[in-house]
Amino acid sequence: MTTVLHTHTRPDGRIVRVVQGDITEEEVDTIVNAANEHLAHGGGVAGAIVRKGGREIQEESRQWVQEHGPVPTGGAAITGAGKLKARYVIHAVGPVWGMGNEEARLRRAVKSALAVAEEHGLGSVSLPAISTGIYGFPKPLGAQVILGAVQEYLDEHSDSSLTELRLCNIDRATCGLFAEAAKKL
């Protein structure tokens, strides 16, 4: 079950929503996976996506890395979504806390994911709290950086295909941080 905690309609009509729920159940064009550079989807959000969407997501990811090399921190790659409700999975590689320049790298990962969505003409995207799990990025700061990156991207791309951006987390506390940050928009 998904619960909408906050909806912000921008002056340009595009919508930013904070939702609590399972990202693998999101009915959007694409979900974003908090990935590692080798797109090895073992645990966390990545593991849940492969468990629900099927091994084909991991196989496509492996093939992507073979063809293009590892995805750098701040970068993103796209694969099909297997059995998920979404059509695609965009794998964004966020920073590990302590590697240096983490805020800029997280901002770049979010914007890279949105750019990939736009390159594919997608309208709706659901993003998790990239880097705030096992990568150790502090959740309050992560919520601000991710939401800020979404806003910056939309401001910089007024003619974008993106019409709805959803910030989705299963964890109520993390969702609360996103909702509080979104209320300040």
Residue ranges making up the domain that contains 77: 3-183
Hey, what are 184's tokens?
């300040």
Confidence band for 1, pLDDT divided at 50, 70 and 90: confident
Overall residue count recorded for the chain in this entry: 185
pTM above 0.75, yes or no: yes
State pLDDT tens for residues 61-96: 999 999 999 999 999 999 999 999 999 999 999 999
> For the chain, what is the domain count?
1
Instruction: Kindly report the CATH number assigned to the domain that includes residue 9.
Output: 3.40.220.10
The 10 Å Cβ neighbour count of residue 101 is 12
Name residue 76's beta-bridge partners: 92
